[in-house]
Structure 1
Amino acid sequence: MPPSTGFSAENLVVDATWTGPGGPARRRLVVRVAPTTYQLHPRPRFWQQYHVQRLLGERTDVPVAPALGFEPDPEVLGAPFCVLGHVAGVVPADLPSYHREGWLHDAPAPMRAAVWRHAVDVLARIHRVNLPPLDLGPSEPAAQVEELAADLDFYGCATDPHIRAGIGALRATVPAQAGPPVLLWGDARLGNIVFDGASVAAVLDWETAGLGAPEADLAWFLHLDRHLSEGIGADRLPGLPDRAATVAHWARRAGRVPHALDFHRVLAAVRFAAVTARVTALLTGHRLVPADFPLHRNATRLLATTLKEVGT
């Protein structure tokens, strides 16, 4: 399982050795340490993400890294941490985008298509799991919009005109719930999947797991791929199914007719623009990237495009 490609936690890959009842043992592990300096989200749910991952590994067929232990005491490593089993494989990179280089870029078109289909398959599988009640925040669309609106000061973008327009559009188009809420991955994207060939070996990063309409995950998955291609001025890889084909494939696997997908497209675009505002502030504030780092600018431009497309 490669180190995290995100900003939400520190992953330490270690080779652990010990002596047990059967003699000397060795295993590669991932120690995931809760964020301290770079807190990306306003309500870190470090225990909840570990708990969700453990339940998925124990009770479902969703492939995740084995959840081996959780330590809440910050005295040990400076912050709470969890220990996960290492999963071998490859992950499509966000930076540089897999649309520009890397193993997926270099793969033949049929393999790219298979990678994409398997990712959508596992997304639909997540939406069908049956877990015990979980406290993962609001599940109703209206409450999710208001929570996001309340968090904009934390993300540092409360006055951004594109984001304000997006919040207004969401408030004006809140859909009725089309069924009970399901488990949401929260950060559904190729960059959070370990692949063994074209097959999914593990689904990573449950920090923003929640409950709600499954279309929220589907819209985020599509939006993040669009950001990493059109959003940054890159050509989308040939062989990857387009939006219509992806939605149709997910619907078949999930056994559900997509509901209010335009609303969730806007929700994904607003959420992503808010997160990029925070990421950009953290990176530029610590001089890790140049002051003109384009991440947030690209995200708000794609948000504006999305608002035009859905007619809001």
Structure 2
Amino acid sequence: MTWLVCNREDDQTFGTYLIISNVKTEDFGDYVCIISKPGNTIDRTVSVREKVEEIVYINPNPVPVGKMILVMSAILFAGLAIIILYLQYGLKIQVHIKDSFNSTEENDGKSSDVLIVYSPKDSEIALGVLLSTLETQYDYKCTSRELPASTSIWYSDLQEEAKKCRRIVAVFSPAVVNESWDTNNVLQALKQLQSLGPKLVCVALKELPKTQNEVKNSQGETLASLTRSIGVILWDRKKDDKFWYSLRLRLPPKRRTEMVDNKNFAQGENNSRLTSNSQESLDNLV
């Protein structure tokens, strides 16, 4: 410990500095600093305290809360993105996978891909839209039959034709049950169609009837349970793409190359026919 005496202001102010070179435990405490001026003395109390270092606790197993929140947020957003993409493109992807990778249904003794059955009142949709689109745009070989007026003879009337086709597409509307659009009649009609084979696709032109207390048939089935097992597609022109993807998903796989080749073949036949007709016209002129 060293005392250093100094002055200033032309030796009118004197002071002493206390210099502690090596601080020891006994050096900590209170000190009095005396400042002397002519006619005035000031005492200042100074405390020298030992600095205590703060001990920082380090958790041996810290929980990375920030990283956990970040990861959970990323998973949540990824899940939402997947759901949105599935709702937007799920059917299209499923149809593409089915047509690209599922085995084609060939050499099975069937003469047609699709049998479309319908009421005469629904012929415009059945033939003008469904059959035409399936044949021209998606290259399915289709045939059609009108449903008899009585549902009780559907099976006997259609069973032979149904055996020749890979899928049965039934256009279902109040017209097929003679406008008796109630759960009992619709259930009986669907059971008749289901008996034709397991590969039935039902296209409903109107929402199927619903009741709170549905009556079960002899097999213990209700209309709701039967429609779930069959898979009913609602005809909706406002969601045209969704309807066609839903329908194609239930039809036999079609390879894209096969579709292109068949279309080229059809175009070739048309061109040959046009050329032949043109040649005949020229011969007639000569």
Q: Common fold, TM-score beyond 0.5?
A: no
TM-score tier after normalising by the smaller chain length: under 0.3
Q: TM-score when scaled to structure 2? A: 0.21
Larger Rg: 2
Quick one: higher RCO (CA 8 Å, sep 6+), 1 or 2? 1
TM-score, normalization by structure 1: 0.20
More strand per residue: 2
